[in-house]
Structure 1
Amino acid sequence: CRQKSRRTWKFRRKFDKNRVKSRLKKFISRRPSLKTLQEKGLIKDQIFGSHLHTVCEREHSTVPWFVKQCIEAVEKRGLDVDGIYRVSGNLATIQKLRFIVNQVTSDTQYYVFKLNLDDSQWEDIHVVTGALKMFFRELSEPLFPYSFFERFVEAISNNEKIETMRSLVKRLPPPNHDTMKILFRHLTKIVAKASQNLMSTQSLGIVFGPTLLRAENESGNVAVHMVYQNQIAEFMLTEYDKIFSSEED
């Protein structure tokens, strides 16, 4: 009787597991996709993880407001902080900031909202810089568009780097161009305080290279691409004035 009871219990347990799995599969297959939910307006496009063009289009601007807010905060209280942009902030707090920004901006009136990065919960400036880097890292397409990656790689090996870079920058879509301009202008201010924050152009190139540009398909050239990524970011920073010299602010 005990053996029979044990076999019955095992059978029921296996049956219950299979039934749960079956129900889960049905639920997943019937669950609407993210795209469907977005099309129905049930889920709005968010700031993090979106395309730069999409973010700017929603804001009627060519530079995301979150980028502006972060830069303003860093220039206000972080230019002379040791290891700015290199030192990592608390990841949990960065994720909290990311969540708040995405929640706020899901509202159609989000642009009225002014995120107060001077609030005590964002007191650690490394949290702000970490969130800014995360924003650029999570863009569905990098700040340097995929279609421009090889052209920038060729330019950094060109004898006429400045002219070639300037020409490429001018051809970028407005959101990419304007966001790039304001970001690198900000980073030149970081370099100007290098004696205090210990962040050189090379250090910032290492930090921002892989964050701002990458190949659409790495195809085993990760190490090679990383060298170019760093060099391009560093060169853009070093020659900022010349690359953007013919443009009006």
Structure 2
Amino acid sequence: MQKATNSDTSMETLNSTRQGTGAVQMRIKNANSHHDRLSQSKSMILTDVGKVTEPISRHRRNHSQHVLKDIIPPLEQLMVEKEGYLQKAKIADGGKKLRKNWSTSWIVLSSRKIEFYKEPKQQALSNTKTGYKPESVDLCGAHIEWAKEKSSRKNVFQITTVSGNEFLLQSDIDFIILDWFQAIKNAIDRLPKDPSCSSRNLDLFKIQRSSSSELLSHYDSEIKEQKPENRKSLMFRLHHSASDTSDKNRVKSRLKKFITRRPSLKTLQEKGLIKDQIFGSHLHTVCERENSTVPWFVKQCIEAVDKRGLDVPGIYRVSGNLATIQKLKFIVNQEEKLNLDDSQWEDIHVVTGALKMFFRELPEPLFPYSFFERFVEAIKNPDNNTRIEIVKSLVQKLPPPNRDTMKVLFGHLTKIVSKASKNLMSTQSLGIVFGPTLLRAENETGNMAIHMVYQNQIAELMLSEYNKIFSSEED
């Protein structure tokens, strides 16, 4: 009786298949008996008319007895384990670091891979149009871990493939990202560790990210597999010399002798191996070294700006290219010959940026710490003439390098102000730029905002009343 029922069911399935166009329909004639209900879970796929393929093994998601649908979905859809929206960022491609750009992706997890789509419609297109291929991640041999340090966002984990691709996945909802992490981890753990997982690529990728000691040990193993005539590489010699006890002792003794006999800093400076820095040194130290009261670098920068920067809009306010400024700083520190008329310093904002950096990196600002409070008290005076006289007396009491450098700098800035109609830099604008750069308290407290106001006002007063403040120096 059971055989007859199954036979009728199969024949009717074949007949319905011949009537349709490749679609598979399942009709259940009778589901009264227990045996008949069990037979409902056995599905057949008919790819061609009259051709019966092998039964599909039930997927873990389909182990329960669901009501059979009229149309059996494709095999790819049966293998889908999880899908949904997540934030995705690809940060490495074949070991090469990429710029992190987050985007929303429709993520489909199957038993072996993850596919990324912009939206679920693209997944449907990939099943019908063979020309469309989504970005895919092979999970065989992949590694998954939480990556809090890779992003300021919360709930971020990273997937690293054997080919060196790295992906970050993220969601603001805790239970969603935890569910995805566990699902992907389970998929990776279920995959076999077989040669098809590109183990060689995984080894190379690990070597690329490993430390120098791990890299050396890897090449040691590679050298052992080489032919005798090819064992003359540097790594081979290092390996065998390091493995020899006597060689190790000899290397250690040489290192000890070198350390005990290493020259002092003064000796290296006398030989010119280590040179005194211009940036970051005390102003009086730089001036003593140059036998002057104004650093030559300050003079050169002012001369260059006077020559080709007075009419430039936003001079001293617009920032120059930081990399070029750092290059200029390096050349100055190495005491190499500097020509600011060279084409590489064509951007005048690089010169002004370097000059501001010089004053900003002074260990003690141009207005010494011991004078800061006195200048602040002077600027608080309500009477303008009294304020000018107090500031003038303070300037005269400054050390010569500070006073003379201040005179040269503010004299140059008055020329900038005289061209304000072209460069758009007023006294107030220059005060905002140079106030915090030239004046600051030794111990910053909660009065930073108030101090900033006074810093700007002092710089403005030095500019607007330049002739009165420095009149004694000009007599």
- For the superposition of Structure 1 and Structure 2, which TM-score range results when normalised by the shorter chain? 0.7 to 0.9
Among the aligned pairs, what percent are the same residue? Answer: 83
**Structure 1 unaligned spans of 5+:** 1-15, 18-30, 106-112
Cα offset, 1:224, TM superposition: 1.2
Q: 1:60 — aligned with what?
A: 291
Q: 2:308 — aligned with what?
A: 77
Secondary structure, in 3 states, of the residue corresponding to 2:444? Answer: coil
Flag the structure with higher strand content: 2
Larger Rg: 1 or 2? 2
How far apart in 2 are the matches of 1:39 and 1:217?
Answer: 36
How far apart in 2 are the matches of 1:40 and 1:126?
Answer: 35
TM-score (norm 2): 0.43
How far apart in 1 are the matches of 2:370 and 2:268?
Answer: 31
Cα offset, 1:44, TM superposition: 2.6
Task: State whether structure 2 residue 169 is matched by structure 1 residue 169.
Answer: no
Cα offset, 1:217, TM superposition: 0.3
Structure 1 residues 91-106: aligned runs within 5 Å: 91-104=322-335
Q: 2:416 — aligned with what?
A: 190
How far apart in 2 are the matches of 1:116 and 1:172?
Answer: 31
Work out whether residues 293 and 400 of structure 2, in 8 Å CA contact, stay in contact via their aligned partners in 1: yes
Work out whether residues 94 and 131 of structure 1, in 8 Å CA contact, stay in contact via their aligned partners in 2: yes
Match among 231, 243, 247 for residue 457 of structure 2: 231
Partner AA of 1:141 in structure 2? E
Work out whether residues 275 and 334 of structure 2, in 8 Å CA contact, stay in contact via their aligned partners in 1: no
How far apart in 1 are the matches of 2:265 and 2:429?
Answer: 42
Work out whether residues 38 and 45 of structure 1, in 8 Å CA contact, stay in contact via their aligned partners in 2: no
RMSD over aligned CA atoms reads 2.1
Match among 302, 306, 318 for residue 87 of structure 1: 318
Partner AA of 2:373 in structure 1? E
How far apart in 2 are the matches of 1:199 and 1:240?
Answer: 17
Structure 1 residues 39-54: aligned runs within 5 Å: 41=269, 43-54=274-285
Q: 2:368 — aligned with what?
A: 145
Distance 1:82 1:37, change over 3 A: same
Partner AA of 1:145 in structure 2? P
Task: State whether structure 2 residue 439 is matched by structure 1 residue 213.
Answer: yes
How far apart in 2 are the matches of 1:73 and 1:58?
Answer: 23
Q: 2:170 — aligned with what?
A: none
Partner AA of 1:221 in structure 2? N
Distance 1:213 1:120, change over 3 A: same
Secondary structure, in 3 states, of the residue corresponding to 1:246? Answer: helix
Partner AA of 2:399 in structure 1? P
Partner AA of 1:200 in structure 2? S
How far apart in 1 are the matches of 2:282 and 2:430?
Answer: 24
Q: 1:131 — aligned with what?
A: 354
Distance 1:90 1:225, change over 3 A: same
How far apart in 2 are the matches of 1:229 and 1:201?
Answer: 13
Per-residue displacement from partner, 1:184-220 (whole Å, max 9, x unpaired)? 0000000000000000000000000000010000022
Aligned length: 212
How far apart in 2 are the matches of 1:122 and 1:43?
Answer: 26
- For structure 1, which segment, 216-225 or 125-134, has the greater mean C-alpha deviation from structure 2 after superposition? 216-225
Distance 1:87 1:174, change over 3 A: same
Cα offset, 1:40, TM superposition: 5.1
Q: 2:343 — aligned with what?
A: 120
TM-score (norm 1): 0.81
Work out whether residues 144 and 212 of structure 1, in 8 Å CA contact, stay in contact via their aligned partners in 2: yes
Structure 1 residues 12-27: aligned runs within 5 Å: none
Displaced runs of 4 or more, over 6 A: none
Match among 265, 271, 282 for residue 37 of structure 1: 265
How far apart in 2 are the matches of 1:170 and 1:38?
Answer: 35
Q: 2:29 — aligned with what?
A: none
Secondary structure, in 3 states, of the residue corresponding to 2:354? Answer: helix
Work out whether residues 38 and 44 of structure 1, in 8 Å CA contact, stay in contact via their aligned partners in 2: no
Distance 1:168 1:125, change over 3 A: same
Cα offset, 1:235, TM superposition: 0.7
Cα offset, 1:43, TM superposition: 2.8
How far apart in 2 are the matches of 1:123 and 1:40?
Answer: 35
